[in-house]
Amino acid sequence: MSDALTLPAEARERAGKGASRALRREGRIPAVIYGGKEEPTTIHIEEKELVRQMMTGQFMNSIVNIDVNGKSVRTLPKDVALHPVTDRPTHVDFLRLSKDAKIEVAIPVIFTNEEESPGLKKGGVLNVVRHELDLVCESDKIPSEIEIDVTGKEVGDSIHISEVKLPAGSESAITDRDYTIATLVAPSALKKSESAEGEEDEGEETEATEGGEEAAEGGEDSGE
């Protein structure tokens, strides 16, 4: 499960574009906490601390406890707006979580036991179609990653979501199809080699055919 993060915040007294620009000039980022059958709470947070937590790579899949005026609010980051030129954060949306809430999140996948895959041992390549899985998870059981075992996989095999053992409290958000996560494909060098061998075989057959035809023509000429 992703570790819970803590983010200090202060309540916003004023809203609007002017107030938001003033906050950003002071190194603060406007944000809002919504959901949980409560009124939205407008806050602002320190830009440096927000960026530091975002750089961990787990921010969007982590529970974030926001401390607002001495009160801790359990949330999940839902959206971080970035400046189109500088990529600096300009606004953050947080979803307020109840204890029994279920939420949809994108969880990264990692592949294990690659040394136990005959296809990879032969030089095959793991072609990853989905680097993240869309899951519905209980808010207190959000996994940091999903492990996929490739033991026994051969070139040409595919890995589908139905093969993946999801942790307790998680289920696939996509239920209308058994989608592909990864495939084992032959390396391009191997494909080129096989193609070249095929062309060589064709060339040899052509030469043999032409040689036979020439010999036959030679025999006819000598007979005349």
Rounded average pLDDT over 160-172 = 94
| 109 touches 48 (CB < 8 A) | no
217's CB contacts (< 8 A; 6+ apart) are none
Residue 35 corresponds to which amino acid? G
Model confidence band, residue 216 (pLDDT cutoffs 50, 70, 90) = very low
Model confidence band, residue 15 (pLDDT cutoffs 50, 70, 90) = confident
User: Is residue 176 scored above 90 in pLDDT?
Assistant: yes
Query: Residues 110-140: pLDDT tens digits?
Result: 999 999 999 999 999 999 999 999 999 988 7
Question: How many other C-beta atoms can be found within 10 angstroms of the C-beta atom of residue 12?
Answer: 18
Task: Determine the pLDDT at residue 16.
Answer: 77
- The more confident residue out of 111 and 205 is 111
Pairing of strands 5-11, 64-68: parallel
Pairing of strands 71-82, 64-68: antiparallel
Model confidence band, residue 224 (pLDDT cutoffs 50, 70, 90) = very low
- The more confident residue out of 194 and 4 is 4
Rounded average pLDDT over 81-103 = 90
Task: Determine the pLDDT at residue 138.
Answer: 87
Nearest to 94, CA basis, from 74, 77, 73, 82? 77
